[in-house]
Amino acid sequence: MSLNDLSATQAVDKIQKGEITSEELVQACLERIDQIDGEIEAWAYLNPDYALEQARKLDLIRQAGDPIGQLHGIPVGIKDIIDTAHVPTELGTPIHSGRVPFKDAWVVSRLRQAGAVIMGKTVTTELATYAPGKTKNPHDPNRTPGGSSSGSAAAVASYMVPIALGSQTNGSIIRPAAFCGVFGFKPSFGMIPRSGVLQQSLPLDQLGVFARTTDDVALLTQVLAGYDETDSATTFLRATTSLISVAAEEPPSPPKIGFVKTPVWDRADEMCKGAHEELCETLGENVEEIELSPSFGHVLDHHKIIMEADLAYSYEHEYESAKDLLSNSLRSQIERGMSYSAVAYHQAMSQQVVLDDILGGLFQEYDAILTPSVSGEAPIGLDNTGDPSFCTIWTFCGVPALNIPCLPWRKRNADWHPACGSKK
């Protein structure tokens, strides 16, 4: 087993005990990247010296016996819409080529406080919307990795880093996690502060994580969750649960799971439908199918109005100053966004509360909702990042969402790509 195969939780433990150094771990990850990233292209910015220098400093701290953080020495991939001080953050568009922020985003600052190594910047789609970046699916370079957090999903899936950060305004964490076969977690809206992250849509933008184990999902989320007064979506009233202990516990009683097909079930392919039916059979009496209220049938429209109107507002500068450098798809989104009325926007927003209340009622009865992350396996072709529609309801309502890489196509996909096949 190579060091880059370790989970963050395992690696932290070994670093803490002095069994391995951060430098060795980062070096192993860099070698893995060197070996396979020529084909996958998960990184927008990667400077081995920058990563190794952090690792060496962190090793000195540990060797000195000083207190160490929860992610001490662990390399983390950072989606390239999340600001990193003095390190390029180019937002997936030539318009911001060469952009270097002076200040870390809140989450990056949190990572540094926890002793993480900022490994580099992972590829995002154009301004975190739909036009793909250069990244390929690590299981099959002819398939999309999903987006917009393409590089983070691919880097974790291909063992280049154990964990990475992403963001989701529609399906940008859950979808690439599903297509790449890793855990992707978007906690509740407002749980992770967004200050210093490209703003696409204030009521929809949410940060989250990629990992290969649930322990790592819990560990990284716990480091990132918090209150930041400059992000009004966050609140210090939210009690800080120890996600790490909760993730390690057995459930106190058998969980009651609601299986929800969502209004877009028809878009799911046969493999997806069959796999979910099989999964429900396996789960047996713990799961029952529930119908969402018909009001959820309009979520895609509401979400589109809010997201596109917000894109038009947030990317006004890019549109006005460099329209030609935008993709056709983003230009169309912005132009549609300009056409929505304030009243239509308000009406769509008013549905967030209504629908979230309905979900609140469901969660009184069910511990979790089981539903497809995507319509099927990663589609062939690199000209788009796939259909996000299975994610929209949960993003719109701001409820936590976790992609669990457990369905058969991931295993099959793994065989397609020798670089990763050996890992599964």
318 sits near a copy of itself (criterion: CB under 8 A) = no
339 sits near a copy of itself (criterion: CB under 8 A) = yes
Stretch touching a copy of itself by CB under 8 A, among 108-116, 216-224, 296-304, 310-318 = 310-318
- Residue 389 falls in the annotated catalytic set: no
- Residue 79 falls in the annotated catalytic set: yes
Q: Is 132 helix (H, G, I), strand (E, B) or coil?
A: coil
Amino acid occupying residue 412: R
- 7, 79, 136, 314: the catalytic one is 79
Among 266, 343, 383, 418, binds a copy of itself (CB under 8 A): 343
341 sits near a copy of itself (criterion: CB under 8 A) = yes
422 sits near a copy of itself (criterion: CB under 8 A) = no
Stretch touching a copy of itself by CB under 8 A, among 92-100, 152-160, 309-317, 402-410 = 309-317
**Token digits for 263?**
């209004």
Pairing of strands 43-46, 368-370: unpaired
347 sits near a copy of itself (criterion: CB under 8 A) = yes
- 172, 314, 373, 375: the catalytic one is 172
305 sits near a copy of itself (criterion: CB under 8 A) = yes
Q: Which is nearer to a copy of itself, 155 or 309 (CB)?
A: 309
The dihedrals phi and psi of 261, each to the nearest 5 degrees, come to -85, -20
Q: How many residues are present in the chain? A: 424
Q: How far apart are CA 278 and CA 362, in angstroms?
A: 23
Which own/partner pairs from 378-383 qualify as long-range (CB within 8 Å, at least 24 positions apart)?
Answer: 378/137, 378/139, 378/140, 378/143, 378/144, 378/145, 378/146, 378/179, 378/180, 378/413, 379/143, 379/144, 380/140, 380/142, 380/143, 381/142, 381/143, 381/144, 382/132, 382/136, 382/142, 382/143, 382/144, 383/132
Compute the least distance from the CB of residue 112 to a copy of itself, in Å. Answer: 28
Compute the least distance from the CB of residue 195 to a copy of itself, in Å. Answer: 14
Answer yes or no: are the C-beta atoms of 382 and 128 closer than 8 Å.
no
330 sits near a copy of itself (criterion: CB under 8 A) = no
Classify residue 265 as left (phi > 0), alpha (psi -120 to 50) or beta.
alpha
Within 28-67, the residues that bind a copy of itself by CB under 8 A are none
Q: Which is nearer to a copy of itself, 262 or 351 (CB)?
A: 351
Compute the least distance from the CB of residue 295 to a copy of itself, in Å. Answer: 18
Chain Cα centroid distance, residue 336: 26
- 7, 109, 148, 149: the catalytic one is 148
Q: Which is nearer to a copy of itself, 340 or 416 (CB)?
A: 340
Alpha-carbon Rg for the chain in angstroms: 21
Amino acid occupying residue 72: H
127 sits near a copy of itself (criterion: CB under 8 A) = no
Burial of 245-263, coded b for 16+ CB within 10 Å and e otherwise, reads eebeeeeeeeeebbbbbbb
211 sits near a copy of itself (criterion: CB under 8 A) = no
End-to-end CA distance of the chain: 12
2 sits near a copy of itself (criterion: CB under 8 A) = no
Q: How far apart are CA 37 and CA 288, in angstroms?
A: 42
Among 115, 171, 258, 337, binds a copy of itself (CB under 8 A): 337
Stretch touching a copy of itself by CB under 8 A, among 110-118, 308-316, 365-373, 407-415 = 308-316
- Active site positions, annotated: 79, 148, 172
> Which residues in this chain contact a copy of itself in the complex, by CB under 8 A?
305, 309-310, 312-313, 316, 337-347
